[in-house]
Chain A
Amino acid sequence: MRETYGVVLPDMKLADLTGKLIVIEGTDGVGRSTQINLLKPWLEQQGRAVLETGMTRSSLASKGIKQAKEGHTLGRITLSLFYATDYADRLEHEIIPALRAGFVVLTDRYIYSLMARAIVRGIDPDWIRNAYNVALKPDAVFYLRIGVDDLIPRVVFGRGFDYWEAGMDVHPSEDMYESFRKYQTALLQQFDVLAEEYGFEVVDASANVRAVFERLRDGIARVLSGEPREPLFAMARPQEQTEQSAGSKVVESPAPGKAAAGGE
């Protein structure tokens, strides 16, 4: 049976969620959406029904968040809670129904990005973790990891600097380049902390699009085939893990990071 990070919402039935929840995480401009645009058709060719979702796409809160961000007037706690509202709406109205119907849910970012952003803005890490205790544990988190030096040219020659992606709310007096560099460096450090805590599978995103895609494709294929995955459920479900390991050969080396079963 599926698990949350500690708190089960009222009327949330965790049985029969037969689909797979796959998270693509990574910082701004790292190429998440490029990869999702490749992964979705590939999954569909395999005969899988796919639901694609991502931050601020809820029917409840997306409009409000966009409007509020335009004025740059949201406080950091308010913004965090607005995102949590958006997440909860998508969880209950999109993600869970899709998993119940056996879909592969491919999500562009998950709670980890929101935690990282909140923490670099000075939010108490325990507070933000508590807020997302209601979140559903995914089947796999693929983290597209990149260094800030590789990231900057992509952003500069891509869509350019954005107020929020440059953390201008955190470093308002600096120029956008300096602010981007500082903010993204802090964010990437935070992602590394979360990668270890939540057992992300780390993918080197400085490689070319094709190479990254192949890594993700192979990783997802392994999750879908039901082979045991390290490390997300390693501690939470020791019994079943042993049974599965005995039945099938483990070819992949375990992903880096300790087997934190997530949450507390």
Chain B
Amino acid sequence: MKRYGEHRFPGKLFVVEGIDGSGKSTQLMLLHQWLQAEGYGTVFSEWNSSPLVKETTRRGKKKQMLTPATFSLIHATDFADRMEHNILPLLKAGAVVLCDRYIYTAFARDVVRGMDPKWVRDLYSFAVRPTGAFYFRVPLDVAMNRILDGRTGVKYYEAGMDLGLSEDEEESFRIFQGRILEEYEKMVPEYDLTVVDATLPIEEQQIQMRQIVKARLAQAKRLRVAP
């Protein structure tokens, strides 16, 4: 089993990371459209989406029966299913795979929930190293305003309510996201994440992202797929 290895498959893997409200999903969507227009065989893979494991995760969340340990393990299970049955075969087939959140999300959340940082990292050591990992850096207040504007409420685990940080959901969410932000910042040098200033205009962020992606796609043999 390889450990967080550089993969040798013809495909390419790009991932976006950042706290809720950092705008990472918007950027990934724009990148996806562009790559498709450029003729690359591009596939989008979402965090927490394995059909096999989804039901268990949903149940655990709904009944609020997840502890930091089971929260961590069930998400690792979900990720493993996507890695084994989705991401790896696609990379072997030469696709450009785009992930909205990757292992760094788990590292941030699980460590904030009190899990041992080394244990969590070892747990995910079967994951391949992305071709590019973008971290959308945004001040907490900016992200909070974006989130709370557009939504009616925050879910229990999303707000970190299981940690007992505050009885007030919005307050708990703020503290929780602040701690996740700290974990992301630690990972920037550790995993050489590409930092994007997420307070810049959307177009400007996208231009930066495309430049980097383009350079890394050019290094590989061109694997254009007819749209």
Contact = CB atoms under 8 A, between A and B. Distances in A.
B85 A75 contact: yes
Interface stretch (A21-29, A82-90, A109-117, A150-158): A82-90
Contacts of A73: 52, 85
Contacts of A190: none
A49 interface: no
Interface in B3-30: 3
A89 B70 contact: yes
A88 B76 CA distance: 13
Interface stretch (A57-65, A200-208, A210-218, A222-230): A57-65
B33 interface: no
A82 B113 contact: no
| Interface secondary structure of A, over-half rule | helix
Interface stretch (B35-43, B97-105, B118-126, B195-203): B118-126
B1 interface: yes
Nearest to A88: B69
B77 interface: yes
Contacts, number: 107
A207 to B, nearest CB: 38
A74 interface: yes
A68 B53 CA distance: 8
A240 interface: no
B55 A67 contact: yes
Given A9-B68, A127-B126, A130-B119, A84 B84 contact: no
Interface of B: 1, 3, 50, 52-53, 55-56, 59-60, 65-70, 73-74, 76-77, 80-81, 83-85, 113-116, 119, 122-123, 125-126
Contacts of A61: 56, 74
Given A77-B126, A82-B53, A134-B119, A10 B80 contact: no
Nearest to A12: B69
B52 A77 contact: no
Contacts of B113: 10
Contacts of B67: 9-11, 88-89, 92
Contacts of A84: 73, 77
B81 A85 contact: no
Contacts of B84: 75-78
B114 A11 contact: yes
Contacts of A9: 67-69, 114-115
Contacts of A63: 55-56, 59
A68 B81 CA distance: 11
Given A75-B80, A78-B84, A64 B69 contact: no
A127 B122 contact: yes
Contacts of B115: 9-10
Contact of A78 (B60, B65, B77, B114): B77
A74 B125 CA distance: 18
Nearest to A131: B123
A11 B66 CA distance: 13
A81 B76 contact: yes
Contact of B69 (A59, A123, A134): A134
A76 to B, nearest CB: 8
Contacts of A127: 1, 3, 122, 125-126
A98 to B, nearest CB: 16
A67 B115 CA distance: 29
A130 B81 contact: no
A37 to B, nearest CB: 29
A75 B81 contact: yes
Contact of B119 (A7, A59, A74, A82): A7
Interface string A138-154: 00000000000000000
A124 interface: yes
A24 B55 CA distance: 31
A60 B65 contact: yes
A133 interface: yes
Contacts of B1: 77, 122-124, 127
Contacts of B77: 78, 81-82, 84-85
Nearest to A77: B80
B114 A10 contact: yes
Contacts of A78: 50, 52-53, 77, 80-81, 84-85
